[in-house]
Amino acid sequence: MTASASSPHIPVLLAEVVDALQPQPGELIVDGTFGAGGYTRALLKAGATVHAFDRDPTALELARGWPELAENPPRLVLHRRAFAEMADALAQHGVGQVQGVVLDIGVSSMQLDQVERGFSFANDGPLDMRMDPDLPSAADFLNEAGEGEIADVIYQYGEERQSRRIARAIVAARPLQTTGELARIVRKATGHKPHDKKDPATRTFQAIRIHVNAELEQLRLALFEAERVLAPGGRLVVVSFHSLEDRIVKRFLRDASGQVGGGSRHLPLKGPSPTTFDKPSRAVRAGDAELARNPRARSAILRAATRNDEPAREEMIDG
């Protein structure tokens, strides 16, 4: 995640990410979530070549003047594609394997701070929430979906117990156009009082954003794409920011390192499950000094593991 365009760029757990990736001159590394380019900049400084992915064209535009784009061959290659498509995108550039993959999951601080993107209700803006402007917006979903579907999304991705009450209020208030409207509807539906410590709109906004951008599905696919493209000895590093994401990453690494057998009812395997990663390192969180500089690092969890020489597993499917 990043700071806003008007404030210093503060990539979360930067030193820890670089330490886990151990970038070497000439290595190929995928930055699956370019954002404002904090990780990519550090990797380039270490001499690596970076293939940077982002669905958001405004993010990639920030790198247009970087000198590494003009090197021959370029040490920075930009992909306006989802990180779940990294294997195909790399193959189109003649790259079969890389030495590192880093994924910084979720919405970036840069996106949160842009009122017109509609990711936050801190300021009233259009009800958008799209990382990729070609997707349907949050307003499209909330104004067109059935009450049951809206309730299921809020419950599943926001872990909101009052999801049905909120969905009923949303449908009754349609059409919705702004983040402020949605936040007020959620607060009223849940009986929120101004002095209450937590704003219930946070959970609903998270849920709708995750749904609009298919974030958890993209994450599941990206982990298997990383398994396919990492060379033996290659490092996978994932920084997540809430329990739904971290649960997926943790389970993937446990399965891939042989600590849990045979997949799960949520992610059954199509075929046999070789151990494709060494035992993951312990989860890493931001220290006090970083938290003082960047409060948004408080919920960040870094998980990392090293690829071994076993063939990649067949892709898992939703059950």
pLDDT digits (tens, 9 = 90+) for 266-275: 555 555 567 9
pLDDT digits (tens, 9 = 90+) for 116-156: 554 566 678 899 988 888 899 999 999 999 999 999 999 99
pLDDT score recorded for residue 115: 44
State the helix-helix crossing angle for 179-190 and 163-173, rounded to 10 degrees. Answer: 130
First to last CA, the chain: 31
pLDDT score recorded for residue 117: 53
List, in order of start, the domains of the chain with CATH numbers. 14-110+215-306 (3.40.50.150), 136-212 (1.10.150.170)
**Which strands sit side by side in the sheet containing 76-79, from one edge to the other?**
76-79, 49-53, 28-31, 98-104, 230-240, 301-306, 284-285
Determine what percent of the chain falls in helix, strand and coil, rounding each to the nearest 5. Answer: 40, 15, 45
Amino acid identity, position 148: G
pLDDT score recorded for residue 241: 92
